Amino acid sequence: MKLRPHLPALGLLAALGIAAGGAAAQQTPPLAPLGPVPIPADNPQTDEKVELGKMLFFDPRLGGDASTACVTCHEPNQGWAFSDDVSRGYPGTVHWRNSQTIVNAAYLGKLFWAGAAKSLEAQAPSAAKGAVAGNGENDMMEARLAFIPEYRKRFNEVFGDEWPKIMHAWKAIAAFERTMVQTDTPLDRYLKGDESALNDAQKRGMALFNGKAGCIQCHNGALATDQKYYNLGVPPAVRWEEDGLAQVTFRYEQYAKGVTEEMYRSVKDDAGLYYRTKEKADMGKFRTPSLRYTLYTAPYMHNGAFWDLREVVEFYNAGGGTNEFAENKTELIKPLGLSDDEIDDLVAFVEAFSGPALRSKSRRRPCLTMRRCLLPRTEGGEDDNSQRELSKRSRGGRRRSARRKVPDVAPLVSAHIRRHHGDRVGCDELRHRHGAKDAGHGCHLSAQADRALERSEAR
């Protein structure tokens, strides 16, 4: 491993060939390695809290009808995001913006595309309770957790709760998300002095990033984002032109965010930051995303307009695009004049912001009784079949009402126990396997089935 000196900020800028003309150039933070994760004083990390947060992250009980978990829109094998132009929606809906990754979100001071949340503790309930996302209600979600003995035990151990409090659920999820960080990327190693961490194409791309292409103007600092808001001229979502349900969602969001009647009836594009500030100068502006972990989080932009990193670079190389709010397009976007080879080098460098993909096995969802579900279960992680089945049915709004009577699966349980000695499976998988359609109350048998199982065991 060939090491080079760790250069101070201005020396690094000069070494990378950055045009340092004037004070403005000196004020742009250089790229830097990520430091320790910031931990808020009112939510210290503990291993027990992180484990509880991971369980809750994968548990669809924290939502409206117990079909939509955090992981539904932030899947581990899709960059801890969702690899479609817009995110999944609550059953019967679709979402209206691209799902952003949770990886390294712990460092951000502005979350969501328009910066609507300032912390992970604020982001979690906003997503779980958003009408086209989780659509949950505090009292319902809290009541569900209170019915689960394992959750009552864990919340008591971590927070001292007599029964689970929903505000502490968000703190636990935030604690788990603060463990989802990646600091050992080729770029981090290079910035720490390992000359061999980047190949020749990536080094040429880094010079373009900081020089001719001008990416450093907005994608700077350790997170590779200035966390400011810009209108780049990203074209409107094509999906809104052909998907009636997406159009309904967009009109609902317009109404819910308090736009004028004139704007409601005329605007056909996402106004971004405007919905928060109601300033016309903010129409079409969105927060600069971090470039970290982007190798795994396609498609890109707030509406998933571009499906790979080369498309993104070509968009910038052309000077951006045009949308309904063209008068607000940033002056920083201009044609770059990059050749095909230079585009290849720049894409190669952007890929260096990502290390190996982060994997995690899903947590078993606790059952309604301490008896649990005594059937075989495979450790699924991101390939968890029951979660995928829930997601598929949720997306089209075809999931049957949670009020339907749950079929009596106790005889199937007893028969399966006799065939398989002590292996376990989640109850959702049991229901799917044996044709029971209602999985809306998460991983537990109905009370009727539990009682029947007890009677069967007594005999």
Rounded CA separation 74/247 (Å): 23
pLDDT at 158: 98
- Rounded average pLDDT over 48-56: 97
pLDDT at 369: 53
pLDDT at 444: 34
Residues 150 and 222 in one domain: no
Residues 113 and 213 in one domain: no
Q: Which of 300, 335, 351 is the last residue of a domain?
A: 351
List Cβ neighbours of 148 (8 Å cut-off, separation of 6 or more): 61, 164, 366, 367, 368, 444
- Whether residue 19 is contained in a domain is answered as no
Residues 173 and 70 in one domain: yes
Residues 173 and 201 in one domain: no
pLDDT at 153 over 70: yes
pLDDT at 426: 39
pLDDT in tens, 241-257: 889 999 999 999 999 99
pLDDT at 164 over 80: yes
Residues 327 and 208 in one domain: yes
- Whether residue 451 is contained in a domain is answered as yes
Residues 265 and 152 in one domain: no
pLDDT band with cut points at 50, 70 and 90 for residue 48: very high
Residues 236 and 283 in one domain: yes
List Cβ neighbours of 454 (8 Å cut-off, separation of 6 or more): none
pLDDT in tens, 199-243: 999 999 999 999 999 999 999 999 999 999 999 999 998 888 889
- Rounded average pLDDT over 126-134: 93
Q: Which of 177, 210, 239 is the last residue of a domain?
A: 177
Q: What end-to-end distance do the CA atoms of the chain give, in Å?
A: 69
- Whether residue 376 is contained in a domain is answered as no
Q: How far is CA 249 from the centre of its chain?
A: 20
Is the pTM for the entire model greater than 0.95? no
pLDDT at 238: 83
pLDDT band with cut points at 50, 70 and 90 for residue 310: very high
In this structure, how many other beta carbons lie within 10 angstroms of the beta carbon of residue 167?
Answer: 13
Between residues 2 and 287, the one the model is more confident about: 287
DSSP code string of 74-86: SBGGGTTB-SSSS
State the total domains in the chain. Answer: 3
Residues 62 and 162 in one domain: yes
Rounded CA separation 162/349 (Å): 51
- Rounded average pLDDT over 408-416: 36
Residues 436 and 341 in one domain: no
Q: Do residues 406 and 436 make contact, with C-beta atoms less than 8 angstroms apart? A: yes
Lowest mean pLDDT of 89-103, 125-139, 350-364, name the range.
350-364
- Rounded average pLDDT over 373-399: 39
Bond before 299 cis per omega within 30 degrees: yes
What is the DSSP secondary structure assignment for residue 344, as one 8-state letter?
H
In this structure, how many other beta carbons lie within 10 angstroms of the beta carbon of residue 108?
Answer: 22
Between residues 321 and 458, the one the model is more confident about: 321
- Rounded average pLDDT over 428-440: 37
- Average pLDDT of every residue of the chain: 80
Domain extent, residue 400, equals: 381-458
pLDDT at 197: 98
Residues 169 and 211 in one domain: no
CATH number at residue 211: 1.10.760.10
- Whether residue 183 is contained in a domain is answered as no
Lowest mean pLDDT of 27-31, 238-242, 269-273, name the range.
238-242
What is the DSSP secondary structure assignment for residue 260, as one 8-state letter?
-
Q: Which of 149, 177, 205 is the last residue of a domain?
A: 177
Residues 204 and 128 in one domain: no
Rounded CA separation 149/366 (Å): 8
Rounded CA separation 73/373 (Å): 26
- Rounded average pLDDT over 28-45: 96
pLDDT at 409 over 70: no
pLDDT at 190: 98
pLDDT at 140: 95
Residues 216 and 307 in one domain: yes
Of the chain, the percentage scoring pLDDT greater than 70 comes to 73
- Whether residue 17 is contained in a domain is answered as no
pLDDT band with cut points at 50, 70 and 90 for residue 399: very low
pLDDT at 126 over 70: yes
pLDDT at 184: 94
pLDDT in tens, 350-364: 999 999 999 886 666
- Whether residue 42 is contained in a domain is answered as no
Token pair belonging to 324: 């309904």
- Whether residue 30 is contained in a domain is answered as no
- Whether residue 14 is contained in a domain is answered as no
- Rounded average pLDDT over 316-341: 96
